[in-house]
């Protein structure tokens, strides 16, 4: 039996322009969009089609969380959970899958998971990879692209369940190991033990990037400080994660090289909340608040520089690997607007721009013949990004 649903008389915001389209009907049949028409000029509706009265809601593409950590829960003690047992990390990922769907997020780009023995398939690799494999094709679960584990230099943050490398030869071996394990792309950690010293040279990183590219995989670089970001961009990575210290020069280079910035400003917004909801000194203490405020201001300036230079910006929450949660991508869209993007541009960052980063042409796109990966929200996200919090219905959810 075919299942068909028409979403009748909604508005549409697809992140392609600042203009909301009103009075739109969308017919979904067998999980795909059969047609999109003005409501007063609908095409044929098959008998037995479910009618959803969508008036008053806005149809938006299923979003893409460009920076997520499915195996970890987030919260003010996010780092402690890196050491959760693999069983617990699988359970956390199940919860995160539900949070993502409920928030209208269709895709999760997992940019790092602890290594460990998967309790279900028994393989020792990044815990995210078995999760991705088992979720593939399952109703209600996000589409996942996963980087495997973090490749980092000893003394920086990722710690004992990531992949430690001192030099270029090790980097290339780590790239091969992650890809052999089934990683979709590579995550290099370009913050070193010293904040203002890149952990590896341009040449060392370039050889690793070339090795990944030769196997058809993209490479991204965690970078919260300028020196590491410079090295990563010069070495040819495809994207920078966080990018809290990008200056105008580096932004121009990124634009010229088509290096994407994945923003994670919402982490700072969540820290501001912890200043009153916790007694943890780094959030609640005067010095901590001041330092976080300065970092946040720098990060906003980086986004502005990148945006001005024409760099592709993609939204990430950093849920799990940072303090945010899996259902908070709308927060990042709001933060991008606060940093200076127009609301439609910030929606683009959360939708089709993310699809470009993933190399998935259907991701974040609403179009005839494409998957019915859209959500219905209340309000106009093209003037009020907060509308993305008010998710009413998810077209890809069963039932």
Q: Select from 16-24, 42-50, 321-329, 364-372 the region that touches Zn ion (CB under 5 A).
A: 321-329
- Minimum distance from CB of 380 to Zn ion (Å)? 31
Stretch binding Zn ion (CB under 5 A), from 84-92, 313-321, 341-349, 350-358: 313-321
Strand residue runs (E) in the chain? 4-12, 21-29, 32-38, 50-53, 57-61, 63-68, 105-110, 115-117, 124-126, 143-146, 150-152, 163-164, 185-189, 218-223, 239-242, 260-263, 313-315, 374-378, 391-394
Q: Among residues 7 and 268, whose Cβ is nearest to Zn ion?
A: 268
Which of these segments, 179-187, 193-201, 310-318, 356-364, binds Zn ion (CB under 5 A)? 310-318
CB of 372 to Zn ion, least distance (A): 30
Question: Among 132-140, 155-163, 248-256, 319-327, which window interacts with Zn ion (CB under 5 A)?
Answer: 319-327
For residues 83 and 69, give the distance between their C-alpha atoms in angstroms, rounded to a whole number: 14
Cβ 322 to Zn ion shortest distance, Å: 6
Nearer to Zn ion, 306 or 394 (CB): 306
318 binds Zn ion (CB under 5 A): yes
Determine contact, residues 366/33, Cβ cutoff 8 Å: yes
Using rule CB under 5 A, residue 114 touches Zn ion: no
Cβ-based nearer residue to Zn ion, 34 or 111: 111
Question: Judged by CB under 5 A, does residue 65 bind Zn ion?
Answer: no
Q: Which is nearer to Zn ion, 220 or 351 (CB)?
A: 220
Cβ proximity to Zn ion: between 116 and 321 the closer is 321
Q: How far is the CB of 111 from Zn ion (least distance, A)?
A: 5
Gap between the Cα atoms of 283 and 269, Å rounded = 11
Least Å distance, CB 306 to Zn ion, is 18
How many of the chain's residues bind Zn ion (CB under 5 A)?
Answer: 2
Nearest to 89 by CA among 178, 153, 149, 157: 149
Measured from the CB atom, is 25 or 323 closer to Zn ion? 323
- Nearest distance from residue 357's CB to Zn ion, in Å? 15
Please calculate the CA angle 5-10-13 and round it to the nearest 5 degrees. 110
Distance CA(112)–CA(148), nearest Å, equals: 6
Smallest distance, Å, CB 129 to Zn ion?
Answer: 17
- The secondary element (H helix, E strand) that includes residue 169 is helix 168-181
Task: State the Cα–Cα distance between residues 64 and 109, nearest whole angstrom.
Answer: 8
Closer residue to Zn ion (CB): 58 or 324? 324
Q: Are strands 150-152 and 143-146 parallel, antiparallel or unpaired?
A: unpaired
Smallest separation, CB 242 to Zn ion (Å): 7
What are the φ and ψ backbone dihedral angles of 331, each rounded to 5 degrees? Answer: -60, -40
Asked if residue 321 binds Zn ion (CB under 5 A), the reply is yes
Residue 17: partners with Cβ closer than 8 Å, 6 or more residues away:
344
CA pair distance 301, 296, nearest whole angstrom: 9
Residue number with the shortest CB distance to Zn ion? 321
The half-sphere exposure of 388 on its side-chain side, counting CA atoms within 13 A, is 35
Q: Which stretch binds Zn ion (CB under 5 A): 152-160, 298-306, 318-326, 378-386?
A: 318-326
CB 100 within 8 A of CB 143: no
- Within 153-212, which residues bind Zn ion (CB under 5 A)? none
- Footprint of Zn ion (CB under 5 A): 318, 321
């Amino acid at each position: 039996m075919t299942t068909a649903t028409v979403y009748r008389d909604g508005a549409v915001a697809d992140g392609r322009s600042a203009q909301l389209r009103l009075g739109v009907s969308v017919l979904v049949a067998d999980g795909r969009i059969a047609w999109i028409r003005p409501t007063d000029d609908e095409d044929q509706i098959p008998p037995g089609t479910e009618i959803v009265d969508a008036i008053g809601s806005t149809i938006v593409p299923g979003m893409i969380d460009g920076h997520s950590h499915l195996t970890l829960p987030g919260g003010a003690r996010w780092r402690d959970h890196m050491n959760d047992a693999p069983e617990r990390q699988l359970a956390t990922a199940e919860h995160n899958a539900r949070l993502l769907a409920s928030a209208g997020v269709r895709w999760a780009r997992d940019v790092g998971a602890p290594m460990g023995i998967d309790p279900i398939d028994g393989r020792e690799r990044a815990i995210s990879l078995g999760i991705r494999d088992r979720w593939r094709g399952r109703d209600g679960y996000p589409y996942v692209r996963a980087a495997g584990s973090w490749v980092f230099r000893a003394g920086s943050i990722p710690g004992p369940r990531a992949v430690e490398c001192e030099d270029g030869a090790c980097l290339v071996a780590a790239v091969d190991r992650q890809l052999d394990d089934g990683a979709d792309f590579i995550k290099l950690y370009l913050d070193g033990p010293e904040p203002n010293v890149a952990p590896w040279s341009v040449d060392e990183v370039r050889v690793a990037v070339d090795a990944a590219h030769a196997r058809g995989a993209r490479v991204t670089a965690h970078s919260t400080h300028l020196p590491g970001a410079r090295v990563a961009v010069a070495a040819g990575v495809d994207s920078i994660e966080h990018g809290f210290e990008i200056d105008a020069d580096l932004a121009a280079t990124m634009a010229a090289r088509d290096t994407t910035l994945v923003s994670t400003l919402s982490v700072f917004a969540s820290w501001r909340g912890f200043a009153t909801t916790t007694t943890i000194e780094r959030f609640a203490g005067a010095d901590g608040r001041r330092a976080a405020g300065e970092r946040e201001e720098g990060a906003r300036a980086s986004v502005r520089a990148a945006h001005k230079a024409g760099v592709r910006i993609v939204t990430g929450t950093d849920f799990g690997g940072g303090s945010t949660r899996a259902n908070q991508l709308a927060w990042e869209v709001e933060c991008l607007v606060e940093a200076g993007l127009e609301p439609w541009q910030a929606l683009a960052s959360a939708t089709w721009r993310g699809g470009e980063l993933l190399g998935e042409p259907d991701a974040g796109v609403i179009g005839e013949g494409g998957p019915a990966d859209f959500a219905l929200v209340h309000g106009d996200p093209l003037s009020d990004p907060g509308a993305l919090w008010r998710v009413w219905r998810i077209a890809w959810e069963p039932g």
